């Protein structure tokens, strides 16, 4: 009985969190200057900063303002703040710091008491794990509007 209740709660939560991306009115939540991308009906992509949106069009600032009608827009998405390369470097730095702390404490203890891992091995493993987590972390692309 508790498994059924948990499944029901999870199903309800997923329905509540799923936003209706087919509503053009979702563009109202964007702020001027926010990094967005627009995929047009000819499958060309325009990335730039959000300027404004009306009931019939959206204006994106690329090098110059680009006005796109609602009929020519297939998808509007919010671009991530950091790209994958930066997230990988940040993750590697955090992993290196954590690995160095563990290597300096637990690693030193293990090397003194028995034949523990070589100095720097735990630091390297921490850097690799951090880089992997940083690269795998979510990109942050979020669909604001998508035509059905």
pLDDT tens digits for range 55-110: 999 999 988 999 999 999 999 999 877 778 888 999 999 999 999 999 889 888 88
Asked if 75 and 89 sit in the same domain, the reply is no
pLDDT of residue 17: 42
Q: Which domain holds residue 104?
A: 84-136
pLDDT of residue 37: 92
| pLDDT exceeds cutoff 50 at 129 | yes
pLDDT of residue 6: 52
H runs (alpha helix) in the chain: 2-17, 84-102, 108-113, 121-136
Helix (H, G, I), strand (E, B) or coil at 86: helix
Phi first, then psi, for residue 9 (nearest 5°) are -65, -45
pLDDT of residue 53: 93
Instruction: Out of 17-21, 61-65, 81-85, 112-116, give the one with best mean pLDDT.
Output: 61-65
| pLDDT exceeds cutoff 60 at 16 | no
In a domain? residue 61: yes
CA distances from 17 to 24, 26, 46 (A): 18, 15, 28
In a domain? residue 72: yes
Asked if 96 and 122 sit in the same domain, the reply is yes
Asked if 75 and 53 sit in the same domain, the reply is yes
pLDDT of residue 65: 92
| pLDDT exceeds cutoff 80 at 18 | no
In a domain? residue 106: yes
| pLDDT exceeds cutoff 60 at 123 | yes
């Amino acid at each position: 009985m508790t498994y059924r209740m948990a499944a029901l709660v999870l199903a309800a939560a997923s329905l509540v969190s799923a936003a209706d991306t087919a509503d053009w009115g979702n563009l109202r939540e964007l702020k001027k200057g926010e990094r967005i991308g627009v995929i047009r009906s000819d499958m060309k992509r325009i990335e730039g900063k959000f300027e404004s949106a009306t009931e019939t069009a959206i204006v994106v600032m690329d090098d110059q303002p680009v006005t796109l009608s609602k009929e020519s827009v297939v998808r509007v998405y919010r671009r991530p703040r950091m790209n994958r390369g930066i997230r990988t470097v940040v993750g590697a730095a955090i992993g290196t710091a954590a690995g160095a702390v563990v290597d300096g404490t637990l690693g030193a203890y293990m090397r003194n008491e028995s034949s523990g891992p070589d100095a720097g091995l735990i630091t390297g493993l921490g850097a690799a794990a951090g880089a992997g987590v940083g690269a795998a972390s979510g990109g942050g692309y979020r669909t604001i509007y998508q035509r059905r």
